[in-house]
Chains A and B, each alone.
Chain A
Amino acid sequence: MSKLIVSDLTCQKGYNELFSNLSFELNSGEILRVSGANGSGKTSLLKILAGLNSAESGRLSINNNKVGSYNYQSDIFYLGHLPALSPELHSKENLDYLTQLNSRSSDYVPGEALTNVGLNNFEYEYAANLSAGQKRRVALSALFIIQSNVWLLDEPFTALDADGINVIEAQIAKHCDDGGICVLTTHQKCNLPGLRILSL
């Protein structure tokens, strides 16, 4: 069981207040979709949840572990707008590094994860030679490997085709069935069961 608690979060960018006194709680198995117009602070919220940016004020914790602590950081998996792949590395090496930085499960076969997202035989392809959608697939294949409970996915479906979106949605649904938590932003339609929506 894990529980993400956000209380009284305020975020300011320049002179703009993006949101103030934002509070919510997410329990095991819940999916939250953050929605809002461009510039409403969706990415900022996710970055704050990831511990990448600091909020103006407010508290957040996972199972009473504060943001920035070892337990908090190992409980989250964040994927932003950038796919976090180095062009000089193979898909396999990239995936290896990405999951090493996060907490990954011990029974891990990189080839299998890449096959899951439809990239068979791409293990030794340099990231520089992949298309935008393929890069995103490589990064998202980490979802099949990591052990983190709370997934923070910023626009995970950009550049993905319909088939790719289905695969990732299924994986998110499975993760939440297994007691995980997922916070995501997207402008696409999503068919996830039990979706909660937060409007900024």
Chain B
Amino acid sequence: MSLRNPSSFLNPLLFFVIAISLFPLAISPESHTLSNIAPGIVWVTCMLSVLLSLNALFHYDYDNGVLEQMVISHHSLPLILLAKTIAHWLLTGLPIILLSPLLGMTLFLDAKSIYVLMFTLLLATPSLSLIGAIGASLIVGIKNSGMLLSLLILPLYIPILIFATSAVSQSQFNLPINGQLYFLASILLISLMTSPFVSALALKTSLD
């Protein structure tokens, strides 16, 4: 459905590309400096662009009454929300993963680290969408809630940020990264199991 309204998913994606391409201009075009900070840059901008897209997750459905129909439907609400979250990931997380090698190259990441970067994104962007869905369902119906959403969600994103960036930077020095990947995978599993139920509960409370 968002495909019919391209600005809803292209804006965050453009933000991702533009923000990253500004760093070489602002800091230094030198390969050594850039490759050092590349994991952080890519991951922070990825997180911010996901955050940017989250507002739209339930907002429009709330405004035109479709959300009410979802809540009172006899179909399982967590399942509907999981489907919506997956759709959200397909339009934000997946394009980010596909673009990341290109952006990694502009930041002078070596080939191996680019693979690791893509793998951490693949493991963790679904968690970003899933955790984000909880926040988005809590603030549905509140006007101008962008700041509130960031306050609610960013603390939960921090562990993902730490493990993901440390995995990419360690791979640059050929250090083992299994630990971080296991952590990212477990965060994904936990959020996959809990997020649909928690967001369903949050949505019901927000609409009540």
Residues in chain A within 8 A of chain B (CB atoms): 50-54, 70-71, 73-74, 76, 78, 80-89, 97-98, 101-103, 126
Contacts and interface: CB of A to CB of B under 8 A. Distances in A.
A103 B74 CA distance: 8
A35 to B, nearest CB: 23
Contacts of A84: 64-66, 68-69
B5 A88 contact: yes
A40 B1 CA distance: 37
Interface of B: 1-2, 4-5, 60-61, 63-66, 68-75, 207-208
A173 B77 CA distance: 32
B72 A86 contact: no
Contacts of A51: 71-72
Given A73-B73, A101-B75, A88 B1 contact: yes
B65 A52 contact: no
B61 A73 contact: no
Contacts, number: 64
B208 A80 contact: no
Contacts of A71: 74
Nearest to B65: A82
Contacts of B61: 86
Nearest to A88: B4
29 contacts: A50-B72, A51-B71, A51-B72, A52-B71, A52-B208, A53-B207, A53-B208, A54-B208, A70-B74, A71-B74, A73-B73, A78-B72, A80-B65, A81-B65, A82-B64, A82-B68, A84-B64, A84-B66, A85-B65, A85-B66, A86-B60, A86-B61, A86-B64, A86-B66, A88-B2, A89-B4, A98-B66, A101-B70, A101-B73
Nearest to B61: A86
4 interchain residue pairs of minimum CB distance: A82-B65, A74-B74, A88-B4, A73-B74
A67 B68 CA distance: 15
Contacts of B68: 50, 52, 78, 80, 82, 84
Contacts of B2: 88
B72 A83 contact: no
A52 B72 contact: yes
A81 B72 CA distance: 15
Contact of B1 (A76, A81, A86): A86
Contacts of A126: 4
A98 B70 CA distance: 9
Contacts of A85: 64-66
Given A85-B64, A97-B66, 10 more contacts: A50-B68, A50-B72, A73-B72, A78-B69, A81-B65, A83-B65, A87-B60, A89-B4, A101-B70, A102-B73
Nearest to B63: A82
Contacts of B74: 70-71, 73-74, 102-103
Contacts of B65: 80-85
A85 B68 CA distance: 11
Contacts of A82: 63-65, 68
A143 to B, nearest CB: 14
Best-surrounded residue of A54, A71, A74, A84 (most CB of chain B within 10 A):
A84
